[in-house]
């Protein structure tokens, strides 16, 4: 399952609560979230950590690589809209380009 929200919604965004532009993939027990603005990648094992409190991105680089590639390929195949930096107009890289 893949989510893609490349835009900001509303006047204020509480990024700590997950609002803002992001894309995510849920595959098997793993949920990977890419926050476009900060380019942060988070990984959770939802079977063992349903409340997503333990970010595994640093300890599971192979799983991060696998899921960012799958998410990025999906977005590329659909020519999905990506956010750009307001100051420069530069389009933010896909998750697998980090």
pLDDT of res. 77: 97
- Cα gap 53→60, rounded to integer Å: 15
The answer for residues whose C-beta is within 8 angstroms of residue 13's C-beta and 6 or more apart is 19, 20
If one looks up domain 2-97 in CATH, what number appears? 3.30.1120.10
The structure's pTM equals: 0.88
| pLDDT per residue of the chain (98 residues) written in tens, 0 to 9 | 999 988 766 555 555 555 678 999 999 999 999 999 889 999 999 999 999 999 999 999 999 999 999 999 999 999 999 998 889 999 999 999 97
pLDDT of res. 19: 65
What 3-state DSSP class applies to 6?
A: coil
């Amino acid at each position: 399952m893949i989510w893609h929200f490349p835009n900001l919604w509303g006047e204020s965004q509480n990024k700590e609560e997950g609002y803002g532009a992001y894309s995510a993939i849920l595959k098997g027990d793993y949920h990977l979230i890419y926050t476009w603005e900060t380019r942060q990648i988070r990984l959770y094992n939802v079977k063992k950590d349903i409340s997503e409190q333990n970010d595994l991105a640093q300890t599971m680089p192979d799983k991060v690589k696998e899921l960012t590639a799958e998410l990025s390929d999906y977005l590329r195949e659909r020519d999905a809209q990506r956010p750009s930096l307001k100051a420069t107009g530069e389009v933010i890289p896909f998750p697998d380009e980090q």
